[in-house]
Amino acid sequence: MAGPKQSGTTRRRSSERPGPGLDEALRAIGTGAYVVDENGRIVAVNSHALELLACRAEDLLGRDAHDLLHRDAHGQSMPAARCGMRQQFHAARTAQGEQEYFARGDGTVVPISWLITPYDTGGRGPGTLVLFHAPRSEEEAEPPSRSAPRKLSELERLALLAETTTRLTSTLDVEEALRRLAALVVPRLADWAVVDLITERGEVSRTAVVHAEGGTLVCREDLQGPMPPIPQESPLPLSRALRGAASTVAGPQTYRREPDSGIAVEQRRLFEATGIRSAAIVPIRSTRRVLGALTLGRAEVPGDFTPADLPLIEDIARRTGLALDNALLYQRQRKVAETTQNHLLPQMPRVPGLQMAVRYLPAPDASHVGGDWYDAFSLSDGTTALAVGDVVGHDLEAAAGMAQLRNMLRAYAWALPEPPSGIVDRLDEALQHITDVTMATLVFARIE
């Protein structure tokens, strides 16, 4: 296993390569990390793991992680039946362990702490993320006080951030992204999660209020809805977060004073209705603007938030902002595409003695716009023309080609006293010369 160290993230060459999210997530993790497939074979590894294990990536990729790495304190192979990590891997659940040993490339073993969790490999099938590091002192293994909330270990923090990145960036639906965010932080960090979003017109909406009840997440719709305008001078935590000014730890006492804005009134109502005694309020930003604010509240979870908790929650909010920004851009583009498509598709003409009905169903997993079209229009001799066609493609370029083709067909049909076959022949001759359409199918008929 000995060899020169490598930097960056390395993965096995394969026809089924993990998506870019896997590389980015491993690269951003500040400790040893690798991903195994459903058979336990390593498919990706980061530079921190290579450094801790003193080996090269090619010595790891494609190998069974347990057989290759896991050892006892004397450097002997660990039987799979005695391996707690292996058992949790087969159970496909999150788990952690202390005082284990991994083999290094120089023949020695290194004591490690580890955490594993199911992981989305980006189209490669079910996978598992393994995080490990060499404890710097025995203090890291000390159990937390029962009177205080259990602090996340460094491995758990890194796993949470990696999971936040992969889960939120794998959807382009705003509501689904918010559901995933709530499932990530409740009840792991708090028992309440509240998201306030700012529209492009500057209006604020309390979009999500989620609570953990008996192991399930419950949405409190009675606390959601439009919010008052953002005050520009208010020093209160939510107002500052919505302006992108700062992150703050707050409690009910923060909003018991005379409210300075409508937002302060709504925030006091939130604390009273939920029983939150401690909250962390942070901005949600994209690269372009402030998108809103995330409030995590503790009502039943022991312990209060402290300023030391804010960096982790800010990291989660930053990843949330990037995911929401992508989702909002996608939804805006889809709306433009759908509007364009609807304007290109005509209304059916009223023809005495003839009934026409139309149904148009765009593909839900595409861009909702493309080259499919239908048409019905009157001809110069008083008859009615019907057309159903499809230009190759599923995007705005195909829709533009469809508009060209449809208008050409209308012009030929109106101007030329020929049967439908003759009209289509002329259209076929002109298609390659005066349009960018590469191929189209068409059914054209005339009703007399």
CATH 3.30.70.1070 for the 171-334 domain, yes or no: no
- Domain 171-334 shares a fold with domain 346-447: no
Report whether pLDDT(24) > 70. no
Determine the pLDDT at residue 9.
45
- Angle at which helices 310-344 and 396-415 cross, to 10°: 10
Residue 6 in this model has a pLDDT that exceeds 60? no
Q: What is the mean pLDDT of residues 397-416?
A: 88
Where does the pLDDT of residue 126 fall: very low under 50, low under 70, confident under 90, or very high at 90 and above? confident
Question: Buried b vs exposed e over 182-205: b needs ≥16 C-beta within 10 Å?
Answer: bbbbbbebbbbbbbbbbeeeeebe
Provide the residue ranges of all domains of the chain, joining segments of one domain with +.
9-138+152-161, 171-334, 346-447
Q: What mean pLDDT do residues 330-353 have?
A: 76
Share of the chain above pLDDT 90, in %: 35
Does the structure show a pLDDT above 80 at 49?
A: yes
Looking at CATH, the fold of the domain delimited by 346-447 is given as: Phosphatase 2c; domain 1 (3.60.40)
Check pLDDT > 60 for residue 194.
yes
CATH number of 9-138+152-161: 3.30.450.20
pLDDT beyond 90 at 284: yes
- pLDDT value at 144 more than 80: no
Q: Which of 61-65, 74-78, 260-264, 343-347 has the lowest mean pLDDT?
A: 343-347
- More confident position, 363 or 157: 157
Q: Is the pLDDT of residue 275 over 90?
A: yes
What does the pLDDT read at residue 367? 52
Please state which of the ranges 224-228, 230-234, 253-257, 421-425 shows the lowest mean pLDDT: 253-257
Q: What is the pLDDT of residue 165?
A: 87
Virtual CA dihedral for 226, 229, 231, 232, nearest 10 degrees?
Answer: 130
**For residue 273, pLDDT beyond 80:** yes
Tell whether the model's pLDDT for residue 113 goes beyond 90.
no
Q: Which of 51-60, 341-350, 399-408 has the lowest mean pLDDT?
A: 341-350
Average pLDDT over residues 113-126: 80
Res. 82 pLDDT band, cuts 50 70 90: confident
| Percentage above 70 pLDDT, the chain | 86
Cβ neighbors of 149 (< 8 A, separation 6 or more) are 298, 301, 302, 303
> Which pLDDT tens digit goes with each residue over 228-255?
999 988 899 999 999 998 899 998 888 8
For residue 285, the cross-strand partners are 290
Confidence at residue 366, expressed as pLDDT on a 0 to 100 scale:
47
Confidence grade of residue 179 (pLDDT, cut at 50, 70, 90): very high
CA dist., res. 206 & res. 292, Å (int): 9
pTM to 2 decimal places? 0.55
Distance (Å, whole) CA 42 – CA 129? 10
Q: 2 falls in which pLDDT band (50, 70, 90)? A: very low
What is the CA angle 49-155-279, rounded to 5? 150
Whole-number pLDDT of residue 23: 62
Does 372 score more than 50 pLDDT? yes
Which residue, among 170, 243, 244, 182, has the nearest Cα to 207 in the 3D structure? 182
Average pLDDT over the chain, rounded to whole?
83
What is the rounded CA–CA span in Å between residue 298 and residue 277?
A: 6
